[in-house]
Amino acid sequence: MFDTAREVARFQKQEVALGSEARRNMTKRRDTNRDRLKAGLKANENPKPIGCHTQGSYKMWTMVQDADLDYDIDDGVYFNATDLVGDRGGEMSARAVREMVCAALQDEKFARAPEALKNCVRVYYGEGYHVDVPAYRQIQKSSLLSGTKQEYELAGATWRESDPREVTNWFSRTNAALSPDDGDGQFRRIVRLLKMFSKSRPTWKTGNLSGFALTVVASERFYADANREDISLRETMKGIAARLEYDQAIGHPVLNEKLTEQGDASAKRFYERLKNNLSHLDVLDDADCDHETAMKAWDKVFARSWFSDQPPSKDSGTPTRAVVKKGDARYAKPL
């Protein structure tokens, strides 16, 4: 396969991974939102939260750039279940807790008022950002085998088991285990590239496979290649396509539930998009493939012209240099 590892790695760094300034702006909005929520809960004489925890792609560092600034941060708020008591002394429903959080977040400065959605409260910002605030309750469960332990439930349509912090831990463990390199991790970079591909056309932004489901199926079919970022991406895409062609059911890595069921339309749609675009990369296997041809192929995959604007380097087609991961094992990392 014609070596495009440097260009794919550079594309991920420059055009896909979220920049530090964007992350700082999001963190600032998150922190301001937390202060608003705590103040609102206090003013309304509501229960005091036991903590707030950022979750999702922002926490896992898999959020990708968006030309329309369509970014969201998931920032969960946690309560003790024993504090969530209604006016008559009964247990507060999941809906009542979401409405309580929504009321606490209201601010006349917003052009669009926060809304209580099915699984969270959404706070809108004019620049395209929004902060999703799901609410959780901490409960104590006891059994003869494990004794008493803390568990968490999400205020969705009803109260249901959920622990996003364990999802973050799962991702960190998976990235460390699958990646042949230290630091950011090749698995994390490939997930970012897959997510960018999944939204590379305007019409693909709706009805697509969720970012988390995509991350899970990528972990099942990840192809590590310490020498070649391009081979890792292409082979992982192939593996996911082969998997989704016949099996669209994706299991949750932490909870005993499914993210998608067999026959899921979004999984089928993503399979078709992978299949149709992987064919563009067939030219990379031709013996006479050159830099210009290879760059055009990647541009077709990501529906842009960035790759064709990259001039060939003096090292085009040559192996990337080696680095050490852990112990005495040696790997290679694209520049």
pLDDT tens per residue across span 162-203: 989 999 999 999 999 999 998 899 999 999 999 999 999 989
CB-based contact 253:219 (threshold 8 Å):
yes
Q: Would you call 208 helix, strand, or coil by DSSP?
A: coil
pLDDT tens per residue across span 103-156: 999 999 899 999 999 999 999 987 778 899 999 999 987 766 666 788 999 999
Amino acid at the residue 115: E
Partners of residue 80 on adjacent β-strands: 138
Is it the case that residue 1 has pLDDT exceeding 60?
A: yes
Q: Residue 226: pLDDT band by 50, 70, 90 thresholds?
A: very high
Q: Would you call 174 helix, strand, or coil by DSSP?
A: helix
Alpha carbon separation from 332 to 5, 162, 174, 239, 294 (Å, rounded): 11, 38, 20, 22, 22
Task: Answer left, alpha or beta for residue 303, where phi above 0 means left and psi between -120 and 50 means alpha.
Answer: left
Q: Give me the pLDDT at residue 88, please.
A: 76
Q: Give me the pLDDT at residue 76, please.
A: 96
Dist. CA 219–CA 191, nearest whole Å: 9
Q: Give the residue with greater pLDDT, 124 vs 332.
A: 124
pLDDT tens per residue across span 284-328: 999 999 999 999 999 999 999 999 999 997 666 555 543 445 543
Q: Give the residue with greater pLDDT, 314 vs 8.
A: 8
DSSP 47: P
Q: Give me the pLDDT at residue 327, please.
A: 45
Q: Give me the pLDDT at residue 143, please.
A: 67
Dist. CA 233–CA 88, nearest whole Å: 56
DSSP 138-151: EEEEEETTTEEEEE
Q: Give me the pLDDT at residue 330, please.
A: 32
DSSP 282-313: GGGGSTT--HHHHHHHHHHHHTSSTGGGSPPP
Percent of the chain clearing pLDDT 90 (strictly above): 76
Q: Give me the pLDDT at residue 315, please.
A: 62
Class of the CATH-defined domain 20-162: alpha beta
Residue 130, H or E segment: strand 130-133
Residue 132, H or E segment: strand 130-133
Q: Give me the pLDDT at residue 145, please.
A: 67
Q: How many residues does the chain have?
A: 335
Each domain of the chain, given as residue ranges in start order, spans 5-16+166-332, 20-162
CB burial class (10 A; 0-12, 13-18, 19+) of residue 193? buried
pLDDT tens per residue across span 67-99: 877 788 899 999 999 999 987 778 999 999 999
Instruction: Of 32-41, 68-77, 250-259, give the lowest mean pLDDT range.
Output: 68-77
Mean local confidence (pLDDT), 13-41: 93
Torsion of CA 204, 62, 65, 130, to 10 degrees: 80
Q: Give me the pLDDT at residue 332, please.
A: 38
CB burial class (10 A; 0-12, 13-18, 19+) of residue 146? exposed
